[in-house]
Structure 1
Amino acid sequence: MAVFDTSFHQTMPPTSFLYSIPYEYYERHKIRKYGFHGTSHRYVMSRAAELMGRPAENFRLISCHIGNGVSVTAIRYGESYDTSMGLTPLAGVTMGTRSGNLDPAVIPYLEQLEGLESDEVMRVLNHHSGLLGISGVSNDIRDLLKLSKEGHHRSQLAIELFVSKLHQYIGLYMARLNGTDGIIFTAGVGENSPEIRELICQGLEYAGVFLDAYANWLGKEDRIISTAYSPVKVMVIPTDEEIVMARDAYQIVITDQTRSLGILETAG
């Protein structure tokens, strides 16, 4: 059985998944935004519903899967409404080694200036950009936080750029969802870096995000890290993509067995 990482995002409306290119390219080649990390976003949505004490269909969430790969998803009443990654995982925010969104004209311009082929430019954008490209030293946020405290300017710049791109998507999805009830942090950095969570939440007070410093810095379990009076609940939820895939596989098996049993009973 195959569980597709893109399946959770199939509920996105055309205004979220279409690119502003000739429509026939979508019709002929299905060139569109597909999104990734779907199993992760789906799992943390279900856990957020448990933490908030009401069904996922009753609220709006912004899920931030922050690891070496990063994606942000707007979840509207239990369904993916928009997401930052696109046709490929290269799109969206700044990541460990991926550039995220940029002006597409950069690609032929680099080919001209550096004498590169298109596949070489794509290799640069996928494997030598992002935090690594800006800092020049590492794609590991732990290294960059340490180096920035020691005065390494480009490490500090990489962190600031990283946070600013996440701010852009969180603000965008607050607008698209007409507000949000909760923000989720998950994956390696999202789960384990209180510094990054704090930096991301700074400046979002206008939108009703008030972080509890004590809860943010202490604890490893699923938990709410916003203050009791924060209108927007901020949560840390370790992801578990494997359990989502196992449950989907189990459901398919049970459904197939039930269907087969029904056919046999009808035939009998």
Structure 2
Amino acid sequence: MRIDLSGKTALITGSTAGIGFAIAQGLAAAGASVVINGRTEARVSDAVQRLREVNPDATINGVAADLSKADGCAALLRQVPATDILVNNLGIFKAQDFFDTPDEEWQRFFEVNVLSGVRVSRAYVPHMLEKNWGRVVFLSSESGINIPEDMIHYGFTKSANLSVSRGLAKRLAGTGVTVNAVLPGPTLSDGVMDLLRPGADKQGVPIEQAGNAFVKAKRPTSIIQRVATPDEVANMVVYVCSPQASATTGAALRVEGGIVDTLT
């Protein structure tokens, strides 16, 4: 299968590192003109430069905007008024006990992980409908189905991503615009590596080994018994954004190594 996204523009939120950057790289390699997004000019400029080095023939642009705020979304829309592909990747995570998580933290996670995707989807999908072609992808998580006891506030937002994705897909029934959710499991992103590094250094083992040990201890139902790579998640997203995925919509597509022990 050869995925060709030439002539398409793809916007990936929260894409200066980790899974988001891998998605941007995959879409650029497929021929799409890519827009990188992050909160600061420095991180965006660095990500744009790194992506251009890997894909020298691709059209790569960047927009610094905090999409957890309405004015940040408005700033993004002014610079990128339309896109064919929207990947709602922006998200944060943090382990914290339910009884130690204040209202402000619940609100922060909701603004970043849920409302950012709602805002930009509301802004960009009408243009897709005018062209009768578009792809919207929400990055959820296996934690949206298998709620972690030490990150209930995070799992809640990832469940919300699934609800918004499915509902929006139904709202766009009969059109050429598809909406799907992709559910990674533990993935060796920059943020996860930062969490694993102290323990890995203390034990004198590679981060990958520490990640695999985490999966076996904390996600024992994993079938692959290891952390995934950002590229493995990105591959699913690139496919969902392709013309070949035209009959895939309203789906929750799992790239979590079989952690969720269910047939569907």
Over alpha carbons, which structure has the higher Rg? 1
Q: TM-score, normalised by structure 2?
A: 0.35
